[in-house]
Copies of this chain bind each other. A is one copy, B any other.
Amino acid sequence: MHIDLIRSSSSKSLPQQISGTLAQRIRSGLLQPGARLPSVRSLAVSLKVSQVTVSKAYAELERSGMIICSQGKGCFVANPELFKQSEGHSWQEHYNDYLPRAQLWRNFKDSEVKYPFHLAAIHSGLLPLEQIGATMAALVTAQPELMATYGNFQGDPDLRETMRAHLLARGIKLASSDLMITSGTQQGIDLVARTFVGPGDTVYLEAPSYTGAIDVFAGRGAEMIFVPMDEEGMKVDVLTRLCDERPPKLIYTAPTFQNPSGVTMSMARRQRLLEIVRSYRCLLVEDDPFSDLYFHSPPPPPIKSLDTDGHVVYMKSFSKVLAPGSRVACVAAGGDILSRLIAAKSASDLGGPLLTQRAVLPFIAKKYDAYAAELRMILRRRMELADKLLKRYAPPGVTWNLPEGGLSLWLELPPSQDIGRLHELAGQQGISFLPGDVCYAGHTPSRHIRLCYSQMSEEDMQQGLASFLDLLDKYLS
């Protein structure tokens, strides 16, 4: 396998980088239980490091129980029960790839479980599927030729005009030519990463951050540095000190009802963050799926609304709030940054389908605001119900913050819990959650779990949460 080593890294030694990447590959299911690791000698040769360095990395992995080494036989990935061996063809094991991590893949499974708390999504009964579906049925009947054409790489001009008005109402003043439509925000993040991030480039993220973004930056060989947060969001003073040492190529933030922590960045921090980005002449990716889903008062304006010189690439997901299967998100950038992103979009999929873009357009133009107003009331009630159950049944030592908006709760468990084991036990009862580990890049275990309160019906959510808290109580005692 290919491992991007950052020889100038101040934060991580070479053995740490090697063991960290191998651990990620094992956790991602890319190196499967029972698979043999390359010999110390051959890995040392291929990575151009000393055998001592590789030995240290393997020793660290063995200490953590992820691999088992035996004299003469070599090292193997442990825990065969976690993942079933794929049939495979033997030569493929040695065919090098550039995929250091894929945690999203492993934690997103088709929810066969009864109580899917792991996915940050909205229950289908709450989504305006019938309205969008009716538009789509009418469109495809009247104009089947909408399916005949490759979409415009930048996205349908009419939908971009609708998005322009939508963003203007939220303080972001741009032309529709400054916008691009992507297959969900995931593709937007991926396009930014493939276009602007390469091996050894420094990317700053909040600790914790969105798994799908971490996967993508890891795939580009970036050095990711996680900046701690407090109740005002990313600690910008810490970021400033870190940037002095390692200038940022890019900063990724979700400032509003952050996924997974639920924290919202204060206005002062937003301004300060933009100043940092300006002074380093780098990009800020502002991922904003949830700002319309506030429970009390509207959050501070997007950082993009303060951006005068194209430093912020702003991403707004519509698929999450309207119809995940529509895969429609909007990316706002400007100048050369945007044109390079459009070129990258063309190489990745020749543009998104036109029909779906036209199908969501009327809803976004005319009904979105009223729908969002109603949805936030429903989500607030969900959150309050979950909070009530937690207050009543959560075992001592379990803490959480009440989010001001969004879809999920971020729980902290008492120290030294084996969250992997808890995840397994919950799974046996048909309950899933997102283990906090996947929201970091390192292999320091996290004590957090994320629970989404909006993916089930209200009754199921309450039943599932009560069962989970019961399990948690037994598990902790």
Contact = CB atoms under 8 A, between A and B. Distances in A.
Contact of A108 (B98, B119, B133, B153): B153
B140 A89 contact: no
Given A97-B340, A194-B194, A140 B147 contact: no
A334 B151 contact: no
Contact of A150 (B29, B93, B132, B325): B325
How many copies of this protein are present in the complex? 2
Contact of A336 (B86, B327, B355): B86
A24 to B, nearest CB: 12
A15 interface: no
A132 B282 CA distance: 46
Contacts of A99: 195, 340, 343-344
Interface stretch (A54-62, A212-220, A267-275, A431-439): A212-220
A16 to B, nearest CB: 22
Interface in A147-178: 147-153
Given A147-B326, A349-B187, A97 B137 contact: no
Interface string A86-112: 111101111111110010110010100
A430 interface: no
A281 B350 contact: no
A326 B351 CA distance: 11
A333 to B, nearest CB: 10
Contact of A353 (B29, B153, B354, B356): B356
Interface residues of A, number: 92
Interface string A455-469: 000000000000000
A408 to B, nearest CB: 16
B183 A183 contact: yes
Contact of A88 (B134, B147, B336, B356): B336
A153 to B, nearest CB: 6
Contact of A105 (B146, B183, B212, B346): B346
Interface in A306-344: 309-311, 323-327, 334-337, 339-340, 342-344
A281 B94 contact: yes
A258 interface: no
B148 A140 contact: no
A273 to B, nearest CB: 17
Interface stretch (A122-130, A285-293, A377-385, A391-399): A122-130
Contacts of A405: none
Interface of A: 2, 28-30, 32, 86-89, 91-99, 102, 104-105, 108, 110, 119, 121, 124, 127, 129-130, 132-134, 136-138, 140-141, 144-153, 183-184, 186-187, 190, 194-198, 212, 215-216, 219, 249, 281-283, 309-311, 323-327, 334-337, 339-340, 342-344, 346-350, 352-356
Sorted nearest first, the 10 A-B pairs with minimum C-beta distance are A124-B148, A102-B343, A133-B144, A129-B144, A137-B137, A147-B325, A88-B335, A89-B310, A147-B323, A105-B346
